[in-house]
Structure 1
Amino acid sequence: MRPERASRPPDPLRYPFPEPPGPGEAVEVAPGILWARLPLPMALDHVNIYALEETDGWTLVDTGVNTAPCRAALDAFRDGPLAGRPIRRVFLTHHHPDHVGLAGRLAGDGAEIVTTRTAYLYARMLRLDEQATPPPETVRFWRSLGMDADTLAERQASRPFNFADAVAPIPLGFRRIAEGDRIDLGGRRWVVRCGDGHAPEHACLFDEAAEVVIGGDQLLPTISPNLGVHPTEPEANPVAEFLASCHRLAPHATPEQLVLPGHKLPFTGLPARIAALIANHEGALERLEAHLTEPRTAHECFAPLFKRTIGPAEYGLAISEAMAHLNCLHQSGRAVRRRRADGAYLFSRS
């Protein structure tokens, strides 16, 4: 996820709750909806979770990662603001570890898992696919990015990140939701609207009363979700998928809706936010296309995309996002590519 730095008029977004809840605390953002935060061991140091009050307990939206600090924070939330009442179901917006990490633990306490089929299958597959060293396919993919030699050597010799490192075992069985479904949660009727790009079949919930939107990572303020290409699907085009999702979601957005995002602060002004997300990535594609007057690898495309120095902590997300934008240019005919002798793709403007 990268900050948006392009100059533009004053932000039309509004933040009704400018101060996030502290550890073990919650903020009621709408009748029957509590907002809490759980800690993450990364630069983006938190994930938002939401509890929707039911007659017999709570529905929890997303869960945090399976680490000791996050488990402790979730337990404090359950014992404090949730008053020890049971979590009956867990709604998962998408399959990433910071959103599904503790779903299995909660399922073990009796909670039903509710999510899209793709999110469930990805989470369960990746949780079971534990690797001690990077497989050959992953190394070939890293080479295709033009990854610098020192980073490549270090990664080849190291244990890669595994979902099992941050995600509790995913239970067998879930309740499937899909685009256009209606679902009753927390005394509200919601319509499922799915996005793509950041994660396949990412579920957002739009309150039928047009008051609240659960946006997950599809609809974030101030930062764009990471749109990355990964070894599992090296020819993916998440930028085009994300832009198409924004255009699909835009007709359902109103300025008054309170959007509950997976990170940062709840906000209003969703139509302007969707327009800004579209403009952000279209602008990135234009800058990148102009940069390809000479053949470039993904590793050589950070400057036009991010406009800042990329350090080791951000390198993996940055190079996967650079490849995503290059794939978009290539697959739309705005760039061509060829293989270099070392396996790296070189992209040039058409």
Structure 2
Amino acid sequence: MGIIEAENMQVTFIDTQIPEPGTLQEVASGIFWLRMPLPFDLDHINLYLLEDNQNGQEGYALIDTGIGTRKTEQLWDTLLDILAKPITKVIVTHLHPDHIGMAGYLVDKFRVPLYMSQAEYFTARAISAGACGASDWQDDQYLERCGLSEEYVHNAQQNRKDKKGMGSVIRPIPVQFYRLQAGDTLRIGEHNWQVYIGRGHSPEHVCLFNADTNILISGDHVLPGISPNIGVYSTEPDANSLKMYLDTLPQFTQLPANTLVLPSHKQPFYGLHTRVNDLISHHHVHLDNLRVFCEQGKTIEQCLPVLFKRKLSAQNIFFAIAEAFAHLNYLYFAGEFSRELNAKGQFIFTLK
């Protein structure tokens, strides 16, 4: 694949076949792309194997692991039979189950180190452990304050009772990790990869950049065609997630314009600067629309049609509410909106 040179290049996907589950596709020298299926609307995650040498042992450093299900384990076992070299280290960009789900399985299988940022590691440990007997009234309060119906809240209660939670799709997380921080350099094979930290989609999302080859492993922080979910959830209802996301996007425009981006979803692409600016613009359009819509006070639920034009399933409503909350909190903490509780215990956001 040739290098594309342009100051304001548009987003273009690499001309490479998308790998079938259980197969590999080389996307750059020493870097292999693989996919694992997901049981969601977004039905896949991209993982990457990088040629590595750990303590004299040739193998592959793995970026993200897939969701922790039996199906993913079977695909990994098939893939590992094909690979001529072992995994030397497991690097997890962030805590979500499709990224960390199989980390424990692979770290234990190969007895290799796990690399993560500190906030992602300990948050993953906490979430996978579940409530540990704590009351869930604050989960109900969150949904009520978002303006959701009694029926929705009741169904959510029932779902919590019926499901085992996030821990059911995350294999036991290793009790040891190696911390990645902004500005760190991680040696993988013959190359140094600089650590960049993104926030908003998750607490301390790791991205890796190789200045020798102009390759960015962006995880979920920079995706083509879609925006990562930027949400405010019941665990931290006063989070200003959108501000954190918008604050940590511009750093990537300082990387070379011809950087090859390896994202966790969709396809590898060129056009990093354009994509970053598009993501920033996308959220500011939503903010502008909310400024107009909330001249008269609105609940979070009432704002959904402003942000989402498609019909939302019950599962999608949960994430859509969190996304709307993030945009409204952004405007509230910027001093542009007021936020008050009405008689029903719902947040009302109003343009000042």
* TM range, smaller chain: over 0.9
Instruction: Give TM-score, length-normalised by structure 2.
Output: 0.92
Q: Distance in 2 between matches of 1:195 and 1:155?
A: 30
1:231 offset after TM fit, Å? 1.2
Which ranges in structure 2 are unaligned for 5 or more consecutive residues? 1-7
> For residue 37 of structure 1, what is the aligned residue in structure 2?
35
* Paired residues for 1:158-173 under 5 Å: 158-159=159-160, 162-173=165-176
Q: Distance in 1 between matches of 2:291 and 2:116?
A: 37
Q: Distance in 1 between matches of 2:221 and 2:135?
A: 29
**Residues 162-200 of structure 1: per-residue CA shift (max 9 Å, x gap):** 221110111111111100001111321111010101011
* Paired residues for 1:118-197 under 5 Å: 118-130=119-131, 135-159=136-160, 162-197=165-200
Contact 2:252 2:272 in 1 (8 A): no
Contact 2:252 2:273 in 1 (8 A): no
> For residue 224 of structure 2, what is the aligned residue in structure 1?
221
> For residue 331 of structure 2, what is the aligned residue in structure 1?
329
Task: Determine if the alignment matches structure 1 residue 248 to structure 2 residue 251.
Answer: yes
Alignment equivalent of 1:61, drawn from 60, 63, 79: 63
Contact 2:20 2:35 in 1 (8 A): yes
* Paired residues for 1:5-44 under 5 Å: 12-44=10-42
> For residue 349 of structure 1, what is the aligned residue in structure 2?
351
Q: Distance in 1 between matches of 2:345 and 2:189?
A: 52
1:76 offset after TM fit, Å? 2.1
Contact 1:130 1:163 in 2 (8 A): no
Contact 1:47 1:98 in 2 (8 A): yes
Contact 1:130 1:164 in 2 (8 A): no
Please state whether the residue corresponding to 1:337 is helix, strand or coil: strand
After the TM superposition, which of the residue ranges 160-169 and 47-56 deviates more from structure 2?
A: 160-169
Contact 1:17 1:266 in 2 (8 A): no
**Residues 189-241 of structure 1: per-residue CA shift (max 9 Å, x gap):** 11101010101111100102152100000010000000011111110011111
Task: Determine if the alignment matches structure 1 residue 312 to structure 2 residue 310.
Answer: no
> For residue 86 of structure 1, what is the aligned residue in structure 2?
86
- The 1:245–1:210 alpha-carbon spacing in structure 2 relative to 1, beyond 3 Å, is farther
Please state whether the residue corresponding to 1:34 is helix, strand or coil: strand
1:293 offset after TM fit, Å? 2.0
Task: Determine if the alignment matches structure 1 residue 230 to structure 2 residue 233.
Answer: yes
Contact 1:39 1:73 in 2 (8 A): no
Contact 2:230 2:242 in 1 (8 A): yes
**Residues 275-295 of structure 1: per-residue CA shift (max 9 Å, x gap):** 101101011111111110221
Identity %: 36
Which residue identity does 2:158 align to in structure 1? A
Instruction: Give TM-score, length-normalised by structure 1.
Output: 0.93
1:138 offset after TM fit, Å? 1.0
Please state whether the residue corresponding to 1:57 is helix, strand or coil: strand
**Residues 281-324 of structure 1: per-residue CA shift (max 9 Å, x gap):** 01111111111022111111111112222222311110110111
> For residue 266 of structure 1, what is the aligned residue in structure 2?
268
Contact 1:205 1:213 in 2 (8 A): yes
Contact 1:292 1:347 in 2 (8 A): yes
**Residues 246-287 of structure 1: per-residue CA shift (max 9 Å, x gap):** 123321x22211100010000011011111011010111111
Contact 2:261 2:270 in 1 (8 A): yes
1:11 offset after TM fit, Å? 8.4
Q: Distance in 2 between matches of 1:15 and 1:98?
A: 23
> For residue 106 of structure 2, what is the aligned residue in structure 1?
106
Q: Distance in 1 between matches of 2:81 and 2:97?
A: 23
**Residues 121-176 of structure 1: per-residue CA shift (max 9 Å, x gap):** 11111111256897111111111111122211111223256221110111111111
Which ranges in structure 1 are unaligned for 5 or more consecutive residues? 1-9
- The 1:131–1:298 alpha-carbon spacing in structure 2 relative to 1, beyond 3 Å, is farther
1:75 offset after TM fit, Å? 2.0
After the TM superposition, which of the residue ranges 237-246 and 130-139 deviates more from structure 2?
A: 130-139
Please state whether the residue corresponding to 2:13 is helix, strand or coil: coil
Alignment equivalent of 2:295, drawn from 282, 293, 296: 293
Q: Distance in 2 between matches of 1:210 and 1:145?
A: 46
- The 1:21–1:290 alpha-carbon spacing in structure 2 relative to 1, beyond 3 Å, is same
* Number of matched pairs: 338
